[in-house]
Each structure stands twice: as structure tokens, then as C-alpha cells.
Amino acid sequence: MSACVRIRHDHTAHSSPPSRASGIKRPHSPPPLRRGGRFRIAGADLSASITVFLIAVPMSLGLAVAMDAPLEAGLISAAVGGIVAGLLGGTPLQVSGPSAGLTVVTAELIQIYGWRTTCAITIGAGLLQILLGSLRAARGALAVSPAIVHGTLAGIGVAIALAQLHIVLGASPQSSAAANALALPEQLGRTSPAAPLIGALTISVLVVWPRLPGRIGRAVRRLPAALASVAIATAVTAVAAPGIARVDLPSWRSHALPELPQGPVLALATAVLTVLLVASLESLLAAVAVDKLTADRAGGRTADSSPPAPDAPAAPRVQRSDLDRELRGQGIANVLAGLLGGLPVSGGAVRSSANVRAGATGRAATVLHGVWVLLAAGLLVTALEWIPLAALAALVMVVGFQMVNYAHIRNVHKHREFLVYGATITGVVLFGVLEGVAIGIAVAVAVALHRLARTRITVTDQGGQHLVVVRGQLTFLAVPRLSRTLGQLPRGGDAVVELDGFFMDHAAYETIQDWSDAQTAQGGRVVFTGRSGGRIAEPASAAHSCCRPWTPWRNHHCHDRPDRPGQPVDARRAAATRAAFAPDENPGADRGPADSAGAEADARAADATAGPTGRSDTPGDGAAVPRRTGAHRLASGLSSFQRNTAPLVRDELARLAREGQRPSQLFITCADSRLVTSMITASGPGDLFTVRNVGNLVPPPGSEAGDDSVGAAIEYAVDVLKVESITVCGHSGCGAMQALMGTRPDTPRTSLWRWLRHGLPSLERMTSRHHAWARISGRLPADEVEQLCLTNVVQQLDHLRAHESVARRLAEGALQLHGMYFHVGEAQAYLLAEGASAGSGVDEVFDRVGPCDPNHAHPYDITDLSDPTSLTALGDPGDHAAVSVPTGAAGPADPTGSGELERTSA
């Protein structure tokens, strides 16, 4: 069984895109207006707005301190970002405010041009954001390499942390990150202990607060960690260090408003572009992160990986972001913030993630948070002036450290882009944001050109036959070296050319094809292979590659509609399949190097014109065609097999017919139609001896209610076929397990009831206190049905060991047992730990089976960009001594009728 299966992450499939007239909104369409135009406030929005407000006030003051801007400017930006961007933006749950990413840029602008000109620069950047949003250019902003984006944010985070460290030490920051780093040794030598101790206390509370244990910890964690840390530091300062520097909010009468910018035009334009770039990228990336957080919440996944209770109310569905509208809303907010003398505004991951986790359902939470900030700016001035500057600096320093995200570093390293990431960070820290981005782009282009031009060609003499291995992309840059290497081979000799790359341009194709024709004309034989070593021109049955499926199952509904000229998908795919895999009609000549590549390109082109179900999305092809049912559908499916698949497997099946079946394993699984055993195990004809029944049950031998059909299959597989292993495979959403849990004493004695009695031991095992619960590595089971599905696999393995033939082969060491669980919705397989499968292990843990090439992570997966409230480490559920899973209703598994089953690990 091969685990080398490339996994797709498509969670939804639509047969065709919705038309504009249908009223169905596209993924990033503007949210519809509420009927009647009323602004509704839910209770969840009110509580979420208070939570975000408690985070936003200290964060806004801290960023103003970090930028050396008027402190009231931070409160103005928080209020404007919440109210204006909340009402007009395209991400309902995103909370905007002072930009953490612009901390260094704004501080430099204030130092060079002064505060009033900086406000004018903010207005100019906002106007450009409105223009770009109107031109629908938001998606283009996300086309920048993720390594450059994350490197820019990480470089800004390093600069923020270095600057705030000086304030924590009781001094003032220098003009640049490099100067801050060089001045640290001197600053450490003349530091008074008061400010550093307050900063250390703030950071300690930030780290410890989300980890407070017990009921008291759960209660106090409702207060945001940012507010708790600042409040505790303020209280300690009032008692222990009353003379330390504190927040000084000047009178609103002295608040400075913008003026016409003064300075060199080119320098001012560069400043406007820098603010535009950083603010827009930060907002758009935060919007993508909010979409992911919202989707996780709607799917029942939370930050602590704990499954929701079955009776818990479903999370409200929130529409995905309209990024162009979001960019316009951010632009309007920046214009207004600049006019009122506020800091630059952008969407923030800290406030937004707190808003989503607090249960916000719409814009009301974002807008109300801005209202509370506005009220606090006018009514809580005296209370805010008690806050020590060292506490705010420590809070912002933690934000800077979190912008250097280890997950991002690991991701760019996995994709071999760490050089781009490191160059961007270095450029931002040493020279500035715009210069760092330019350096990152230059390095990214250089790396891409190096990879494109880097082609390794080796020749090995294998006793009269030469093996030519070409690694890398074949472009015109590699043609001279390729032509020279091929020209050195003996004319008319045999050669195998292994092409290990994903691109070949026309110049390289012509070079290889001309050389191949010349060799063939002189009596030689040239065979072209791919990375797996199988011949490109040979049938699929002879190429043992895990990436060649036996059947075109992805388009298995294509035969449900009649073939017609306007639907080219099946024809192109069939042509591509025949070109790539069918045997040569002329055995004297081998195919050229691009035959397979061209066939695969045609297949990809067909995929591009086909929707997720394989139907063409081109005009004229989208008309609904009634799907065939019954005998017609069966006949059309058989015809599709004879036309497309039979030519590919005929040779292999002929060999199996001559030699007989020699399966390596017995596979016992459920009869569920969604479980395609050959697909999930990457197996073909003759590999599995499969037994399918309702609930993948193995009745114990010799019992009065035994079942001879399953026992006969086990005996035949073990004693006659001599299989080497037996696998019991359960799956998610098993209807048999659901029916088993819903069994009542008055259930009719039907055939299904009599069969499900074989699953009662699994139900008893799950409720027993003498067995540890089976679980999935990394998380708890989603609900009691999934728990029973896992436990059922373990119980059926025990039944298997009771069979005489199985016990005998196990004692001889000639047979192995395996437990498997397949999650249908995630297309993810899990294998039971070896000790538990053998019956000797205590912990019954199903471990996740990973793909061979897991390089499909979303490049902008930045759920938590810089959130000091999300420092909770996720633990393995196996670390807990006791867990409880609530059940939906009392049944035979719950004799007390309480509706809740509790388990203490044995």
C-alpha cells in the first residue's frame, strides 16, 4: 500500500459559477445591504466590541508612543478605523486602527517632516488607496511573493522591538534600527531598575495570562491579556515607582491638524508610496487571515483544537472579504484620520482575531469598539494618564517579536525561499521598508532566474547503453550544454534520457527531438523517461508510479451527459490519455520527448476549461443536462470504462488472469459508497482482497449470532491466499455507528438490527471504564459518533484475533493486523499505532498519514500576525488524564440517561 498520494485541499465543489442574475453572491462580492437599511446589534457583537475596546486602548497608546506621535492621535485612529472602516470596509469582522506595520515608517516621517506634514502624507496615501480600490487592484497587491511579504513584516517587527526596548530601559529610541542595536550596550550600562522591572512585569503577565489554570484561570482569561498586563503594571507602578514616566495626554485644544506638505516632491511621493504599500498589504493580509479565522469558527475548529459540543449553537456565517471594497474603506479611513490629526490606519490582526474569537457576527462589533474608544478619549483621560510608558513599550515590543513568525520562517524554508526572506528582513532593518521590499524583489528575481537557468546534465555508461539524466528546467539557456552533451554520445547507440523537470521551451524541444531522430535513423534506440523511471511511451501498467491512478475517478460523472461537439473535456482527456499511455502502433520508433508533455498539457487545458465536476464552463456548454439513472447510467459507465480505462489496464488484467490473484492484504471496510478503497490506498487490480459490510464489522467466531460470510473470507484470505496483513478500516460519518448509538429496546428486529448486534461490543467498550478511549493524534474526536468509529476499529481487531486461522498466523509471525480510520470530508487517512494494532499497546492512538509532497499551504496563512493575546500553546489531547465528550441523547450507551459520558484513562 502506498502512502504517496497527492492530496487536494478543495473543500467545496460547485458545478458551475453562479450567474449575476441569480442573486447568489460570488466569494468576494460586496456584502448585500440589509433590507430596510437598519443597523442591527446582536448581543454577541456588544460583548465582542467591549473585548476589542479593552485591547485597542492600550495598543493605540503604545503605538503612538512608539512612533513619537501625539498620544491622542492613537485614540483618534482607533476610533476612525473602527467606525469608518468598519462601516465602509469589505471585511465585516476586521477591526482597523493604528498600523503596527507603519510604526517605524511613521516615526521616521515625524522626525524628518514633523507631525502636521505626516498627517498630510497619510491623507495622500488614503486617496491612493481609494483610487486603487476603485480600479479593483486589491488582488494584485497579494501577488507579491509571500517570502517578501512576511520578510517585510518581520523586518518591521525587529525594528519595533529594538526601538521599544530602549523605552523599556528608560531611555529614548534612536533614529534607526541599526542605531538602536548599536546603542544597546551603552544603554544597558546606565539603566535604572524601575522601568525595566515594569516592562518585565508586563511581558510576564502577557505570557502567563492565557495559561492560567483551573476555574479561576478560565474566569480571569475573559479579560484580554493586553489590558490585564497594562492594568497590573499600572497598579504596581502607582505603589512601587510613582516617579516613573507615564502617559501624558495633552489638552485637545492643542491638538495639531495637518498642513500642506513641505519638502522635496520626490521624497514626499516616496513617503506616500511607502505608507500606501505597507498599510495596504497589512490590511489585505489581515483580511485574508480574518477569512480563515471565520471559516475555522464556522467549521467548529477553535484555537485550542477542541471540538464543539453537539448541542452547541452553530457559529454565524459571515461573508468572505471583498478586498477592493476593503481597500477603499481603508483609504477613506486614512483620509479622515489624517484630516483629524490621527495616525495611519490599517487592519490589524491583533484586534481582528480577538473580535472573531469573541463571537462577533457583523460590523456592529467593529463600529461599537470605535464608539467606546471615542468615549474613552473624552471621559477617561485621568485614568489613562496613570499608565507607565514602560508598560506600553513592553506591550508593543511583544507585538514586534510576534511579527517574526516561526511558522512563516519554516514555510519559506520549506519552499526554498529563505534567501529572499532573509534579504528582505535585512533590507528593511538596515535601510527602510521601501528599500527592503525592493531588495527582496531583486533577490527573488535573481533566485528565479538562477533556478530557471540551473540545469544539471549527467551521462552514465551502462554497458553499451548510455543514461542521460537532465535535472532542472530545459530552456534556451541550457541548449548549448545539452547539445554538446548529446553530441558526445556514440551515433546510432542506445540511450535512455531521463527528463526530471517541469518545463521545456521550444528551443530545448527542437534540440532533443532532432538528436533523437538522428539516432533513430542510424539504427539506435532512444527511450525517454520521467522522474519515476517509467517509459513515457509505455502503458501505465508498466510504470510503477504512485501518481498514476487506475481510473479517471475525478471525472467519473462525465458519462452522465451525452457527448456532443461543444463539450471538449472528455475528448481532450481521452486523447491525452491515449497519447501518454497507449502502446506505440509503430514498434520501430519511440515517441519524442514532448509527446507525454503535450498530452499532459492538453489534459491540463481540459481541466482549465472544466469545472470541479469535469463539466465545461465555456459558453454553450453549461446547459443543464438531466443525469441518467438506473440501467442507463450503469450502461454509460460501462461504456466509459471500455473507452477510457480498459485500454490502460488490459495488459495488467491479462497477466492477473494468467497468474491468478496474489493479494498482499485483506482489507475489511464499510460498504459506504464514499469509500473508494483503491483510491485511498493507491492500489490496483490484484492488490487487495476486500470485504465490505455495513459498519466494517468482524463477528466473533463460534457465537450463536455469528456470520459465516465474513469468517469464510478471513479463512480463505489467511489460509489459501496467504495474505501478509489484515486491515480494518473505519470512516467518518458512518451510518452504522449512528444507527448503533440510536438503538432502543423497542427497535424492530430487522435484518439490519440483527447485523448491528455485532457492533454492540464496540459500544460497550466505549462506555466501559476499563479501556482507554481511542483517539486521533493531535486532537480529540469531534463527537461521540467519531469516538465510536475509532473504538469500533480497535474492537474488530480484537474479534479478528479470536479467529483460529488468524491467531495461528500471528503466533508464527507471518501476519500483521492494522487499524485504519479515513476521514471522508478531509480526505485524510489515520493509522492505528503499531502496539495497539498488535494488541499489546495501552494507548489507542490513530496517527495521521502525511503526503509525500505536502507543499500546498496557503501562502498567506497568517491567522495570528501579531497577537499578544494568543500565546496559548496547543497541547496533545493525550496529555490529559480525563476527557469528556457530550452525547446528543441517552441510549443503550448511556444507561444513566444523563446525556454525557465521562472517561478517566486507565
Q: 248-257 in b/e burial notation, b at 16+ Cβ within 10 A?
A: ebeeeeeebe
Residue 670 designated active-site: yes
How many C-beta atoms lie closer than 10 Å to residue 603's C-beta?
Answer: 20
Strand 494-500 versus strand 526-529 pairing type: parallel
Cell numbers standing for residue 94:
476586521
- Catalytic residue check, 731: yes
Residue 474 makes CB contacts below 8 A (sequence gap 6+) with 455, 482, 499, 501, 503, 504, 505, 508, 509, 512
Q: Enumerate the β-bridge partners of residue 471.
A: 456, 500
Q: Is 141 in a helix, a strand, or coil?
A: helix
Report d(CA 847, CA 879) in Å as an integer: 15
Q: Hey, what's the cell of 109?
A: 516621517
Would residue 674 show up in a list of annotated catalytic residues for this protein?
yes
- Nearest CA-CA partner of 258 in 329, 334, 175: 334
DSSP 388: B
| C-alpha–C-alpha distance, residues 405 and 332, integer Å | 30
Strands 816-823 and 845-848 come out as unpaired
Q: What is the DSSP string of 504-536?
A: B-HHHHHHHHHHHHHHHHTT--EEEE-TTS-BT
Number of residues written out for the chain: 906
Reading the block at residue 166, the C-alpha cell is 530602549
List Cα–Cα distances, 900 to 311, 733, 776, 905, in angstroms: 11, 20, 20, 16
d(CA 757, CA 858) in angstroms, rounded, equals 45
State how far the alpha carbon of 27 is from the alpha carbons of 31, 321, 655, 808, in Å.
Answer: 10, 8, 50, 59
Residue tagged active-site, from 621, 672, 864, 867 = 672
* Burial track 53-66 (b if 16+ CB lie within 10 A, e otherwise): bbbbbbbbbbbbbb
Residue with cell 483609504: 331
The one catalytic residue in 246, 322, 325, 670 is 670
Contacts of 41 (CB under 8 A, 6+ apart): 364, 368
Residue-wise DSSP of 849-882: PPPS------TT--S-SS-TT--PPPPPGGG-SE
Hey, what's the cell of 249? 495626554
Q: Distance between alpha carbon 99 and the CA centroid of its chain, in Å?
A: 26
Distance from C-alpha of 765 to C-alpha of 795, rounded to nearest angstrom: 8
Active-site hit among 320, 369, 559, 731: 731
Question: CA 372, CA 365: separation in Å to the nearest integer?
Answer: 11
**Among positive and negative, which fits the CA dihedral 443, 448, 452, 458?**
positive
> Which residues, other chains included, contact 378 with Cβ-Cβ below 8 Å and sequence gap of 6+?
none
Catalytic residue among 218, 674, 801, 808: 674
Q: Residue 701 in 3-state DSSP? A: coil
- Residue 133 has, within 13 A of its CA and on its CB side, a CA count of 26
Task: Mark whether 119 is an active-site residue.
Answer: no
Cβ neighbours for 651, distance < 8 A, ≥ 6 positions apart: 539, 541, 542
Q: 734, 758, 771, 809: which one is catalytic?
A: 734
In angstroms, the CA 805 to CA 387 distance is 77
**Catalytically active residues, by annotation:** 670, 672, 674, 731, 734
